[in-house]
Structure 1
Amino acid sequence: MKTTTKKNRVSPEGTQRLPDNHSQTRSIEVATEVRKWKLQVSDNGLTAAFKELEKPNTVVSLFWIARNLLLLVICAGLFYWNPLTSLLTAPFTARAIRALGNQVHDASHRNIFDLRSGIRNWNNVIGEWLLGPVMLYDFNSYIKGHMKHHGGLATLGLDPDILCYPVHINDDDSILIAFWKVYKPLLLDKQIWMKSLFGDLGGMSKAALLRTTIFWAGLGGTIAFLFGPTAIVSVVLYYFLNRASFYHAVKCFAELSDHPHRDEPNLKAPITMAAYTRTLPTTWVSWFLYPENDGWHLLHHVNPGVPMPNLGRVHNLMLQISEYQAAASKYDSFFTGPKSLIKDLIGRYPSTL
């Protein structure tokens, strides 16, 4: 019986478990790759359109933020009214939390408010005082960690988001069993679960902790004033229960999907940005798993300056570039068919396609 072994060593945003020779591993030459993509954009006459679509779409971004906050309020309110409603609302709550996390990400790239307008950096304001506290993130620490991911993409010791743990898949394993073997170590990793549940609460700066305390104290006081103190307990309980369960499960799947595992024999081999970064299929599943255009991950690494509301239009422009079109058309579904994402996650994507 043949066994396929995948070895990966790093939990996303967690403590790295590196091999002794990690300093010898080779990374993607990120700057070179980005220049290459920009040259192809220029050669295809897309530069002017790109520049226009790099401008933040503030109205849409703020609408998305408000919509997801409202969705959280509605779901928490239904739980307070009848806890059994959580059986129906839990997926929507997880989706809203994921979407707000994506807005933290967009704010970290300065993509919500236009810096060229001459006003103060409102990306920092909304990140530090609203999005960060909602997600329990230290916004400034998030920026530093995420910039490491972009700059050190696929490099052990530099990229904090590499997934690196051993996986043993047998040829006769069913797709579900094989997927569980890949998914389980991430899902049951204590550090990752604690991160999903508590965010950065255990390691925030004093300033971030103060902002988070002010936000939640203000929210709690408002809820108590309007609905009574028992409502506070209900809302907080519902929020953290979802973070510990549905949200954690969805976030782990997203982490698996954004970038593939790097096998132990190939850790030191060069790899391209297109090979290491996925473009996810656009289906109804995307609304839950990859809200607010989050599935166009290759495009984001090619040009992090494109705001999330504009990613779809830029993606359509990029399809004129043959290399991008080939990478972006790899999957036609998440879970079924020969070109499904799950086939790639377990190493069974057809090599002839």
Structure 2
Amino acid sequence: MNVPISKEELKPFLQRSDTKALWIVSRTWLEISGIFLISALLPHWSTYIAAIFLLAGRQQALAAIMHEAGHKTLFATRSYNNFVAKWLSSPFLLMDGETYIKSHLKHHRNAGTDQDPDLKNYKDYPVSKKSLFRKFTRDFLGITGLKANLYLFLSGRDLLSRNKRTNYQLTRGLFVNGIMFAILWASGFPQLYALWVIAYLTVYMAIIRMRQIAEHAGVKDLYHLEPKYNTRSIPRGLLGLLFVSPTDGLSYHCEHHAFMAVPTYNLKALHKFLKVRGYYNDVEMAGNYFGVLKQVVK
């Protein structure tokens, strides 16, 4: 890599904070609780639709927390990362944090090559507007989510790695989701759990697709080893805050690929540092997620 930063200059960005990490996890669960509370207090179809979209964004936040905890960069205390990945994030998405990070690290090792296991998710971009519309339509209608979960439940395999499920993945997932349902039941609003399921099967699938597109689709050179060419960083904006990049720094994916050990809450500052150093001078950068969509459409 030819990233213009020395080891000494990088050190401040590598600092991890249990306090910052705890705030990210706590805020996510406070937001989930708040969305359910508002849905209970204002029972109306418009409230429920808004709740589905916002809950899907919080599911993406849980996925981001699982990702960072899996990298052991979220908390400074290693055991906290393990606990959060195993119990407070991945199982609510019917995933296993340990299985996920093993598969994800293969992506990091092979990004910029044809051996990247995630390549199938973005190698065909740019696509036509009709093709992109069809993809997102399948997501929002629940077709993508239903197919994925049928595979997960019936195949005995993990959805991402395609390997045999381990660590009681579904058992833990059903257990923690059962706790969520029980809390809603005890509060007198068991029907609100349907919002979580609908969000997971529909809008969350669209968010996953948008994140995949934003991170690697339609970049300058998908088969170049330099992160700025095979990966994208963008300001998250309001769309990112609510949905695609709800945790601090998640949208600065190039910096994450360049330096995996940098915690997510330091990636924005690192991005600004590298931008001032001229690292991105030969790369066309999108200003927001709508700008990304323009770059991935023929």
Q: How does 1:53-202 map to 2 (within 5 A)?
A: 53-81=13-41, 82-84=43-45, 85-115=47-77, 121-163=79-121, 178-185=128-135, 188=138, 192-194=144-146
Which residues in structure 2 correspond to 1:198-347 (within 5 Å)? 203=157, 204-224=165-185, 226-228=186-188, 231-232=189-190, 234-261=191-218, 270=224, 272-288=226-242, 289-292=244-247, 293-327=249-283, 330-335=285-290, 340-347=291-298
Deviations 1:240-290 (A, max 9, x none): 101122222222112111102589xx98x6553211101123433332232
TM-score by length of 2: 0.81
Gap regions ≥5 residues in structure 2: 158-164
Change (3 A) 1:75 1:126: same
Letter in 2 for 1:290: S
CA contact (8 A) 1:106 1:307 kept: yes
CA root-mean-square deviation? 3.2
> Which stretches in structure 1 are left out of the alignment for 5+ residues?
1-32, 170-177, 348-353
Amino acid at match of 1:238: L
Q: Distance in 1 between matches of 2:126 and 2:269?
A: 40
Percentage of pairs with the same residue: 19
- Indicate conservation of the 8 Å contact 1:53/1:314, yes or no: yes
Using the TM superposition, give the Cα deviation of residue 92 of structure 1 relative to its aligned residue in structure 2, in angstroms.
2.0
Provide, for residues 129-163 of structure 1, a one-character-per-residue CA deviation record: whole Å limited to 9, x for no partner.
11111222111110111101101114334422432
1:104 match: secondary structure: helix
Query: Hey, what's the Cα distance between the residues in 1 that align with 2:133 and 2:124?
Result: 11
Q: Distance in 2 between matches of 1:106 and 1:195?
A: 27
Sort the Cα spacing of 1:111 and 1:166 in 2 relative to 1 into closer, same or farther, 3 A. closer
Alignment-mate amino acid for residue 21 of structure 2: S
8 Å Cα contact 1:57/1:112 also seen in 2:
yes
Q: Residues 344 and 168 (structure 1 numbering): CA distance in 2 closer, same or farther, change over 3 Å? A: closer
**What is the deviation of 1:98?**
1.2
Q: How many residues align?
A: 283
Residue 345 of structure 1 and its aligned partner are, at CA, apart by 0.8
Higher gyration radius (CA): 1
Per-residue deviation, 1:296: 0.6
Q: Does structure 2 retain, via aligned residues, the 8 Å contact 1:139–1:208? A: no
Deviation at 1:105, TM superposition (A): 0.7
User: Structure 1 residues 193, 307: closer, same or farther in 2, change over 3 A?
Assistant: same
* 1:276 maps to amino acid: N
The structure that is helix-richer by fraction is 2
